[in-house]
Amino acid sequence: MPELNIERTHTLGLSGARTVAERWREQADQEWGMACEFEPGESEDRMRFSRSGVSGELVVTGSRFDLHLKLGFLLGAYSGKIEEKIKANLDELLGPAPPA
């Protein structure tokens, strides 16, 4: 199964990142039909999601978004397009990247 690992840094802090993660969850539910489970933590939150042919986890901290996605056989053929779409979506939600 193809796997995608997408990482983004941000300067939102955990509270701001939680707000963005919630918007991402809403989009994942509405646009892609994902079932999401949210597990808040003290220093990081985890959001597990799945639907037919896709499963994964989004880990949100005060400075990072780490998305790990496993694609089933049929969706694996579209992994490049799926990765581009997710990256663009996260970039839109998070805003400009912080300076290195």
Q: What is the pLDDT of residue 97?
A: 61
Q: Where are the domains of the chain?
A: 3-93
DSSP string, the chain: --EEEEEEE-SSHHHHHHHHHHHHHHHHHHHH--EEEEE--SSEEEEEEEETTEEEEEEEESSEEEEEEEE-HHHHTTHHHHHHHHHHHHHHHH-SPPP-
Give pLDDT, residue 99.
58
Digitized pLDDT (tens) for each residue of the chain, 100 residues in all:
799 999 999 999 999 999 999 998 898 889 888 999 999 999 999 999 999 999 999 999 999 999 999 999 888 888 999 999 889 988 898 876 655 5
Question: Which option is the CATH number for 3-93: 3.90.1720, 3.30.420, 3.30.310, 1.10.287?
Answer: 3.30.310
